[in-house]
Chain A
Amino acid sequence: MSNEKFDAIVVGAGPSGNTAAYTLAKAGLKVLQIERGEYPGSKNVQGAILYADALEKVIPDFRDDAPLERHIIEQRIWVLDDNSFVGTHHRSEDFNKPPYNRYTIIRAQFDKWFSSKVREAGALLICETTVEELLMDGDRCIGVRCDRQGGEVYADVVILADGVNSTLARKAGFHGEIQAKNVALAVKEILFLPEEVLQQRFNIGEDEGVVIEMMGSVTEGMVGTAFLYTNKESLTIGVGCMLSDFKANPARTAPYALLEKLKRHPSIAPLIAGGEMKEYCAHLIPEGGFHAVPQVYGNGWMIVGDSGGFVNAVHREGSNLAMTTGRLAAETVIAAKAAGQDLNARTLKAYKTALDGSFVMKDLHKYRDMPEVLHTSPQFFTQYPGLVNRAAKTMFTVDGIDKKAKEKEILGSFKATRRWGGLVGDAFKLWRAFR
């Protein structure tokens, strides 16, 4: 490829890689970014919600030209039974005042835009090139080998933004194989609808958006959630469950069958009716949280984004953690370079220190017990959705039975299913995991 040596090589052009490359290039460093897709975004999958804050920190005026779909003015959380839901909706006119906080985006378009900013900042981008392995000199990473003729390139530091499969770090022995209990497998479709139809169905105006997050019987008892997001003239609908649960599900349900079941749910079918499906995607999401974050720096290498497991599954946040880790990694390199330091594990440790001091590790630490609690408490995905839906149906059905008796019936159903000990234990578990 070339004999020149770079200050930094960034592998991958998703949110973490783009933020890292942008920050480094902006500071005047010589940056090579390598992307295996035909264009940045062509390999990337997300729900997708963009959280403005993390992007604002690197590109404050991103709203001027970034391809944004709709800003979110309403959040719905639904607990599904087979033919009903109980939910909470929060809609506020405050979310309609700029600067907006959250947007739906279409990643293929958004990543392409972000990449144009990275190149404007001065980074060299090579697409359609897969990095096969890291070049090591002892325990020091000195560059990468790509699937191009003479594809060895060298740099002082390699930033691994290569996504959830973290292929390069695994091959180099920086960490082991991903555990099936630490990743969710999500599938989704994009369904196109005329803008006016979409706005009428969701009771929204131009550029306004709604997100629906769901849990319950649709995941067949597996730990998982589903979602429906409004884009400009399309809907994104998807469902994801822990990969270990997919594997262990006695019904041997395929992910796309789960998605189909979601689409046919009587509360959802009318919202998506007539939508023209134009793409079907699948992706792994690292949801192991705090305890699953591997060593993320070493001699001449750093890991950012999904590759390092930086996802807050409880709050459905990932891309903002990706951007923040990319920025902090880049800032660490910039500071070390400015001080004339060698980019070894000792100096790059500042990256981990910065992560620990940021919301990234603080939030992951706060919810550190959540993955284990959910894995060991299937009742939150099996029994409770049914119980709350039946309770609501009981209370709202007017049939001559007095309300006191109805309350007794509902309480009885909870006690019969979970017993007092189970109910108290479940409340305690959730409190512990959320506190």
Chain B
Amino acid sequence: MTAAIHVNVEEKLFQNRYKVDHGRPHIRIKDADVCSNDCEAQSCTYVCPASCYKAEGNRTVTLITDGCLECGSCRVICTEHMNVAWEYPRGGHGILFKFG
């Protein structure tokens, strides 16, 4: 195993084109207490390829969907707790791939 590589994913996401649906996030954490109290791994905080989920110091998990790549991983890995309410953004919103 090699040493962890530090990557600033925000720099990568900065290259992408988005039409953010302000005030209407398409993904929601259903119950924040479940993340804090019942989820040991908080795997969304490292599996999300856009780093939308952040583990805060006090064991809470925060979600900002602006950089979301709409892959669906967070919903699929949250099987024990089913705590991710996941929809596609409204038509025309979200990531707009220039190349795909």
- Chain A interface (Cβ < 8 Å from any Cβ of B): 36-38, 41-46, 48, 82, 106-109, 111, 127-130, 132, 146-148, 164-165, 167, 177-180, 183, 185, 187, 189-190, 220, 234, 243-244, 246-247, 251-257, 260-261, 264, 277-284
* B88-A130 in contact (CB<8A): yes
CA distance A165 to B79 in the complex (A): 15
CA distance A283 to B100 in the complex (A): 10
* A129-B91 in contact (CB<8A): yes
Q: How far is the CB of A41 from chain B (nearest CB, A)?
A: 6
Q: Which residues of B contact A132 (CB under 8 A)?
A: 87
The yes or no answer to B69 lying at the interface (CB within 8 A) is: yes
CA distance A43 to B16 in the complex (A): 12
* A281-B97 in contact (CB<8A): yes
* B4-A281 in contact (CB<8A): no
Q: Which residues of A contact B79 (CB under 8 A)?
A: 177, 179-180
* B100-A106 in contact (CB<8A): yes
Q: How far is the CB of A290 from chain B (nearest CB, A)?
A: 20
* B70-A43 in contact (CB<8A): yes
The yes or no answer to B73 lying at the interface (CB within 8 A) is: yes
Q: Which residue of B lies closest to A248 (CB)?
A: B43
Given contacts A185-B71, A253-B4, 6 further A-B pairs with CB under 8 A are A43-B97, A130-B90, A247-B41, A247-B47, A279-B99, A282-B50
- Chain B interface (Cβ < 8 Å from any Cβ of A): 1-2, 4-7, 9, 12-13, 15-16, 19, 41, 43, 46-51, 69-73, 75-77, 79, 87-92, 94-100
* A261-B5 in contact (CB<8A): yes
* A261-B77 in contact (CB<8A): no
CA distance A42 to B89 in the complex (A): 13
Q: How far is the CB of B14 from chain A (nearest CB, A)?
A: 9
* B91-A256 in contact (CB<8A): no
Select B16's contact among A165, A243, A280, beta carbons within 8 Å: A280
* B76-A45 in contact (CB<8A): no
Q: Which residues of A contact B6 (CB under 8 A)?
A: 257
Q: How far is the CB of A262 from chain B (nearest CB, A)?
A: 10
Q: Which residue of A lies closest to B72 (CB)?
A: A165
Select A107's contact among B1, B95, B97, beta carbons within 8 Å: B97
